[in-house]
Amino acid sequence: MTDTAIVWLRRDLRLQANPALAHAIAHHQRVIPVYIHAPEEPGSMFTGAASNWWLHHCLLSLSQSIREMGSRLILRQGTDSLSCLQQLIADSKASAVYWNRLYEPACIARDSDIKTQLVDDGLEVRSFNSALMFEPWEMTKQDGSPYRVFTPFWKACVARGLPSPAVDDVEQMPAVSTRLGSAKLDELALLPELDWADGFADHWQPGEAGAEEALQRFIDEAMAEYADTRNLPAIRGTSALSPHLHFGEIAPWQVNNQVEAALSADTRQGAVKSAETFVRELGWREFANYLLYHFPHTVDEPMYPRFAKFRWETKTAVPLRAWQQGRTGIPIVDAGMRELWHTGWMHNRVRMIVASLLCKNLLIPWQEGAAWFEDTLVDADLASNTLGWQWTAGCGADAAPFFRIFNPATQAEKFDAGGEYIRHWVPELASLPDKYIARPWEAPASVLEESGFNPGEDYPLPLVDLKQSRERALERYKQLSSDS
DNA sequence: TTTTGAGTTGTTCGA
DNA sequence: GTCGAACAACTCAAA
């Protein structure tokens, strides 16, 4: 037996407030932080192209921080995490393996297998909570079954009290032997082959320091007005913490703690309500993980089985492609899809609008939209993505009633009144006056001429008629209830 | 056990 | 232009 512990890092890519890491440092002389690249393995962190870009830069940042602490991040790659861990255990003579828990079905299955095997091998294995304020199994209804409605779930969480766990900060890490082998980050080939993601760096700073900066910016500049501005996509009214939270660069309780601390010194009008609204969004993140844990089938099937019979369109290749490329001819939708392509992110309000168009106006299965988001979002998160898409499609927990079909033109006029967001992402529309920028198909000839805009040439004609497709969707949903 | 009221994010129509 | 009602049906938590 030696006194060496391995800390298997996954979506907890931070040094501060990291329970597994803090435990290892507190109880062992030698600590080996490792990231394992097993792209073929179910539950792997090698997923969408945008996420992989983020992961690359996050690992880069983390390995620099670990170096500053006097240690070294070990990278290993292989077909599966277990064999990589076993090899590392053999190489390092480690006696303990620690990690922070994940809650996706594939990760739970993998991790529990690994735990069983390593315990059999005679190692001490412990997992910790680094990602959630409430473990999914902690919160149940009075009858012991899981919540399926957000508000009572969140009320129960708040009643219990949002946690503020004390986790030791890392001041210094013991050195890792230079003989211990590590892959080079570039060998993991996380960056896309095309230079498509190059622009991401203008928008994002992956890593622990970037997460802290994003939170500070939000608290200083946006939080007090959050309740009013969070729906305006032209404004940086949201925190944009989602990718940082996804990769565990910051813990949700750290976010909550800092918001509360800032609030106690904040006398601005509406600050309390805004902070509450914001923290409630952290609650939605908890709820998404909670639902995925209790209802793992929701990853690709509707939460409620009666929706399995819903009659989606089958010939979807052409409209799906137009949607993905931001060429639907519906300005706010195209703006959102282009923002996604260029930055790896989309404003939440716009996510709802583009999703509603796909599921309801185009009648394309929500799974198609979820897959595209998984591939293109830097904050792609199976739990949040699943909840969001099922909510939009009307087949999930606390779902939108089926008659609630967004009108993308009305939404744009309401939340992008000056057309600033549309003009930024769809510059070919920029010359149109505000009145028609969200619905160029209604612009009279005189306006078209004056602005020099040629519908169908400069910009696609709308892919669907909003009114007709709305009625068609309502009809389909009606069929669903009359059939059963 | 039964009842009651509520449920993230809307749209349209007609007065 | 503003406002309220209608748009379905169902689940679910709690009284």
Instruction: Tell if A404 CB is < 7 Å from nucleic strand B.
Output: yes
The pLDDT-based confidence of A1 (bands split at 50, 70, 90) is very low
Question: How far does the CA of A397 sit from the C1' of C13, in Å?
Answer: 14
Closest nucleotide to A156's CA, by C1' atom?
C13
Instruction: State the helix-helix crossing angle for A348-356 and A408-415, rounded to 10 degrees.
Output: 170
Question: How far does the CA of A134 sit from the C1' of C15, in Å?
Answer: 27
Residue A251 near residue A282, CB atoms below 8 Å: no
Instruction: Tell if A79 CB is < 7 Å from nucleic strand B.
Output: no
Biggest CA–CA distance in chain A, Å, is 84
Mean pLDDT of chain A: 94
pLDDT digits (tens, 9 = 90+) for A136-191: 999 998 888 899 989 889 999 999 999 999 999 999 999 999 999 999 999 999 99
pLDDT digits (tens, 9 = 90+) for A194-233: 888 888 999 999 999 999 999 999 999 999 999 989 999 9
Two tokens at A143? 């009858």
Read off the DSSP letter of residue A222: I
Q: Give φ, ψ of A32 to 5 degrees.
A: -115, 110
Residue A12 near residue A20, CB atoms below 8 Å: yes
Question: How far does the CA of A410 sit from the C1' of B15, in Å?
Answer: 22
Q: With a cut of 90, say whether residue A400 has pLDDT above it.
A: no
Sign, Cα dihedral of A156, A161, A162, A168: negative
Give the C-alpha separation, A355 to A376, whole Å.
Answer: 14
Supply the pLDDT for residue A198: 86
Higher-scoring residue by pLDDT: A159, A41: A41
Question: How far does the CA of A317 sit from the C1' of C12, in Å?
Answer: 38
pTM of the model: 0.97
* Helix, coil or strand: residue A446: helix
Closest residue (Cα, C1') to C6? A403
**Residues facing A391 on adjacent strands:** none
Supply the pLDDT for residue A333: 97
Summary count for chain A: helices (H), strands (E): 20, 5
pLDDT digits (tens, 9 = 90+) for A232-281: 999 999 999 999 999 999 999 999 999 999 998 877 778 888 999 999 99
- CA nearest A20: which of A2, A34, A38, A41? A34
Cβ partners under 8 Å of residue A383, min gap 6: A103, A104, A285, A288, A289, A291, A292
Supply the pLDDT for residue A116: 98
Question: How far does the CA of A256 sit from the C1' of B5, in Å?
Answer: 31
- Rounded average pLDDT over A76-94: 98
Two tokens at A481? 């209830």
Give the C-alpha separation, A303 to A22, whole Å.
Answer: 38
Sign, Cα dihedral of A192, A194, A198, A199: negative
Higher-scoring residue by pLDDT: A1, A176: A176
| Strand B close residues, chain A 349-368, CB < 7 angstroms | 349, 352
Give the C-alpha separation, A174 to A136, whole Å.
Answer: 34
* Helix, coil or strand: residue A480: helix
Q: With a cut of 50, say whether residue A45 has pLDDT above it.
A: yes
Closest nucleotide to A151's CA, by C1' atom?
B7
Rounded to a whole number of angstroms, the distance between the first and last alpha carbons of chain A is 63
Known catalytic residues of A? Answer: 281, 284, 312, 348, 366, 389
Question: How far does the CA of A362 sit from the C1' of C7, in Å?
Answer: 21
Closest nucleotide to A303's CA, by C1' atom?
C11
Nucleotides of C under 7 A from a protein CB: 7-14
Length of chain A: 484
Closest residue (Cα, C1') to C7? A403
pLDDT digits (tens, 9 = 90+) for A372-392: 999 999 999 999 999 999 999
Closest residue (Cα, C1') to C10? A401
Residue A178 near residue A70, CB atoms below 8 Å: no
| Strand B close residues, chain A 211-270, CB < 7 angstroms | 231
- A235: exposed, middle or buried (Cβ count in 10 Å: 0-12, 13-18, 19+): middle
Q: With a cut of 70, say whether residue A484 has pLDDT above it.
A: no
The backbone region for A329, taken as left when phi is positive above 0, alpha when psi lies in -120 to 50, beta otherwise, is left
- A194: exposed, middle or buried (Cβ count in 10 Å: 0-12, 13-18, 19+): exposed
Nucleotides of B under 7 A from a protein CB: 6-12
Two tokens at A166? 């004390």
